[in-house]
Amino acid sequence: MTQPDSPKRRSVSFRLARLLLQVTGAALSFLLLLAVTLTIFGLKAKTALPAIADGAFGGWQYGHLYALSETFVEAVPLILTGLGVLVAWQAGMFSIGGEGQLLIGALAAMTVYRFTGSLPAPMVTLLMIAASVAGGALWGGIAGWLRTARNVQEVISTIMLNYIALYLVGAAVLGPLQEPSHSGPETALLPDPVLFAHILPATWTGGITARLHTGVLIALAAVPITAVWLYRTRSGFALRLTGHNADAARTAGFSIARVRITAMIFSGALCGLAGSVQLLGVSARLDQQFSPGWGYSAIPVALMGGLTPGGTLLSAIFFGALTAGTNSAERTVGVPSVVADVLLAAAVIAVVGFRAWRGRSQLATGGD
Amino acid sequence: MTASFRYRVGLLVSSACIMVVAGCGRSNAPAKAASGAPGQQAAGKPYKVALILSGSGTDHGWNQDAVEAVHDVQTALSLPASSISIKEQAVSPSQQQDNLRAYAGQGYNLIIGHGEEYQAPALHMAPQFPNSLFVISSGDKMAANVTPIVFKLEDGAYLLGMLAGGMSRTGKIAEVGAQEIAPVRSVFSAFALGAKAVNPNITILHPVYTNDWEDIGKATQATQPLIQQGADVIIQDLDSASQGVFNAVQQASTAAHPVYALGTNNNQNSAAPGVVLASAPINCSPVFVSIAKQAEAGTFKPTDTPYGLPQGVIGYIENPALASRIPASLQARIDAAEQAIKSGKLVVPMKTQ
């Protein structure tokens, strides 16, 4: 992960100061953007901003731990799907399929539950997680195979596979997986022993159980594992090389087809895992609206994170905080929660635009 | 470190992590003792009412009606605006559960989950929040502090069926629904019953489902073949997508061969004034206000008694622009049936399965 020495290497203190300046600038412009967006929605930034901060970090109506728990609960699916996206994109596979892979993961887990529900609870949970990983990997692998064997662009095939997954879930929750009374288009709630445990004792969060669940450990563990694979193994190197320059990778003796399929399988597995983590951690039931677009938000999250595992972790937590904050501010002061979506999109445009501008200025000055 | 060593460590770490996570199941927090009746006003604390919607509060339908009804509750109980909170677009199960829990945790007295999808989560978490009353629109199960509101749309659908049976010239009528779920099937069976009461020989085409509450185009495409098969009065249960049925009917209807549509859930007569004969709207306001008043006073008991035409929660409204086309004899029969339902002489069956 070390940078190659550039011709004009600046001193550490200069680089540190520059980084600080950039972060402060980004934070300030984000706050400005947030305030402007709120004003457009006809809200007073003076009341809305503290309400959003309260929902994300606590300190006013909520305790800090409760609010931070919400932030991480919202961040967990974004971390896993964000990692999935960056693995595929680093391999040069512009997969939009996180959403479908996530849904297939949840569907596979729910199907396994249907058949193994009578086994001991930890075993059922384990099988459900395994099924979701396998389901997501299969869904990603299909897109990878279509690209390598049939030259179907993954941008198209993954979007189509998203729809297939969505309608498969729709058919399942009106058919074999529907709740016993057959009145709603949804599965029954999973029983408590199967679900992920809540981490924080209720007494720490004012007597109300915070939603933070053990799935956050899976998400946090996935970050270093992905990082080590990408940057410290031969196949990770092959993956990144293929993404940068497929011809060079081929010349170096790597099988491009194999690398691409592997990347899509790994990416799908992570997104599928996100499906079972959400199912077992927060939703406890499956229906067609299971995902509010986690698999799609993953793309801006990964882009904001610079397509690196560490960056994706930070940007997922950032958007988790924003989502938790606006969700809560809608309840307390009536901020529409779509503000989070508007800001997510605006932030991505800002980041991508900044990169492009910096890339051009670097070309012009010939260095970092 | 060799690469294969790293793979093994990665595999070990991830499987250990997943094993630990899978090994700890969730335990439901124990129930607390209630202070007073569920939903009752606590001494010295403001009375707070929350409404959670799975869609937009301005949908001219199911959700908007609930928003208006909650504002009626605010007026009826003379509450300040800060006592009312509305969460819109709680689309996914995780958002629905998060909001139920958050409102209950903030001590809201009355929490209305506007749809059957809130029932299972509310029943599950209700024991932890014994001081809150959870109200589930279209629910069917009760608990100490969970009450369903059973909307008997069947009352209105029966009258719409009588109207359809009497107005059809081809002897064929049709049904378009979004999803083949119990409430929709039940409405359609009441509709068929009403139609057969007027014309025993009427043909009711097999119901068509679009699997979409929002997509107007799909609703249009589903309706067109039904009209081609000869259906000339069409009922729909589609919420936001119902305009698609109206569009298809408007295109097909001519002076020589009129085709009609019927409105449900809301007064949709003005959505297509030339073709919508009548609507059976749901009006949440009387039931929300009644539950809130009783709950505030501490006298409310959960009940699964259906709210229908007799309670003024379900209506039957003919389109004034088309009323002149309804024959007097048919009108008299419909009016008589409406009175019979209101007085309890005629009970329209609810098909629950």
What interface predicted TM-score (ipTM) does this complex get?
Answer: 0.76
> Can you say how many angstroms the Cα of residue B131 is from the centroid of all Cα atoms in its chain?
26
Coil/strand/helix, residue B89: coil
Q: Residue B19's closest chain A neighbor by CA?
A: A126
Q: Which residues pair with B112 in a beta bridge?
A: B51, B135
Q: What is the C-alpha to C-alpha distance for residues A139 and B335, in angstroms, rounded to an integer?
A: 58
Mean pLDDT, residues A87-93: 95
Q: What is the pLDDT of residues A168-202, one digit of tens each?
A: 999 999 889 998 877 778 899 999 999 999 988 87
Q: Which residues pair with B25 in a beta bridge?
A: A196
Mean pLDDT, residues A278-305: 92
What confidence category does residue A83 fall into, taking pLDDT thresholds of 50, 70 and 90?
Answer: very high
Mean pLDDT, residues B23-35: 70
Q: For the ranges A203-212, B192-201, B333-342, which has the lowest average pLDDT? A: A203-212
Q: List C-alpha distances in Å: A239 to A3, A41, B232.
A: 19, 44, 62
What confidence category does residue A367 fall into, taking pLDDT thresholds of 50, 70 and 90?
Answer: very low
Of B29, B88, B93, the CB nearest to A202: B29
Contact A81, A271 (CB under 8 A): yes
Q: What is the pLDDT of residues A94-142, one digit of tens each?
A: 999 999 999 999 999 999 999 998 899 899 999 999 999 999 999 999 9
Give residue A38's pLDDT. Answer: 85
Residue extents of the structural domains in chain B: 49-150+286-307, 153-281+322-343
Q: List C-alpha distances in Å: B241 to A124, A155, B89, B284.
A: 40, 30, 17, 21
Residue extents of the structural domains in chain A: 76-308
What percentage of residues in chain B have a pLDDT greater than 70? 96
Q: Residue B185's closest chain A neighbor by CA?
A: A183
Q: For the ranges A183-187, A257-261, B276-280, which has the lowest average pLDDT? A: A183-187
Give residue A208's pLDDT. Answer: 77
Give residue A1's pLDDT. Answer: 47
- Please check whether residue B91 touches A, CB under 8 A: yes
Contact B98 A282 (CB under 8 A): yes
Amino acid at B127: P
Of B98, B121, B181, the CB nearest to A185: B181
- Please check whether residue A163 touches B, CB under 8 A: no
CA distance A214 to chain B (A): 6
Q: Which residues pair with B110 in a beta bridge?
A: B49, B133
Q: What is the pLDDT of residues A298-343, one digit of tens each?
A: 998 998 888 999 999 999 999 999 899 888 888 888 887 777 778 7
Contact A193 B26 (CB under 8 A): yes
H or E element, residue B279: strand B276-281
Amino acid at B278: A
**What DSSP character marks residue A186?**
B
- Please check whether residue B21 touches A, CB under 8 A: yes
Residue A48 pLDDT exceeds 80: yes
Q: Is the fold of B49-150+286-307 the same as that of B153-281+322-343?
A: yes
Q: What is the C-alpha to C-alpha distance for residues B208 and A129, in angstroms, rounded to an integer?
A: 37
Give residue A328's pLDDT. Answer: 87
The two structure tokens encoding residue B158: 């029966």
CA distance B51 to chain A (A): 10
Query: Other C-beta atoms within 10 Å of B347: how many?
Result: 13
Give residue B31's pLDDT. Answer: 62
For residue B263, report the phi and psi dihedrals to the nearest 5 degrees.
-100, 145
Coil/strand/helix, residue A328: helix
Mean pLDDT, residues B140-150: 92
Q: Does domain B49-150+286-307 have CATH number 3.40.50.2300?
A: yes
- Please check whether residue A255 touches B, CB under 8 A: no
Residues near A134 by Cβ (< 8 Å), separated by ≥ 6? A108, A269, A272
Lateral strand order in the sheet of B110-113: B84-87, B49-52, B110-113, B133-137, B146-151, B306-307
Residues of A in contact with B28 (CB under 8 A): 192
Of A186, A195, A215, the CB nearest to B25: A195
Residue B1 pLDDT exceeds 60: no
What percentage of residues in chain A have a pLDDT greater than 90? 55
Contact B135, B111 (CB under 8 A): yes
Q: What is the C-alpha to C-alpha distance for residues A72 and A220, in angstroms, rounded to an integer?
A: 10
Q: What is the pLDDT of residues B74-126, one digit of tens each?
A: 999 999 988 999 998 888 888 898 899 989 988 899 999 999 889 999 999 99
Residues near A266 by Cβ (< 8 Å), separated by ≥ 6? A84, A87, A137, A140, A229
Contact A211 B98 (CB under 8 A): yes
Domain B153-281+322-343: CATH class, spelled out: alpha beta
Query: Other C-beta atoms within 10 Å of A332: how many?
Result: 21
Exposed / middle / buried, residue A253 (Cβ in 10 Å: 0-12, 13-18, 19+): exposed
Helices marked H in chain A = 12-40, 45-57, 64-90, 98-116, 121-150, 154-173, 215-232, 234-244, 246-251, 256-278, 294-304, 309-333, 338-365
> Can you say how many angstroms the Cα of residue B327 is from the centroid of all Cα atoms in its chain?
32
H or E element, residue A335: none
Residues near B36 by Cβ (< 8 Å), separated by ≥ 6? B42, B131, B298
Residue A220 pLDDT exceeds 90: yes
Residue A35 pLDDT exceeds 50: yes
Residue A3 pLDDT exceeds 60: no
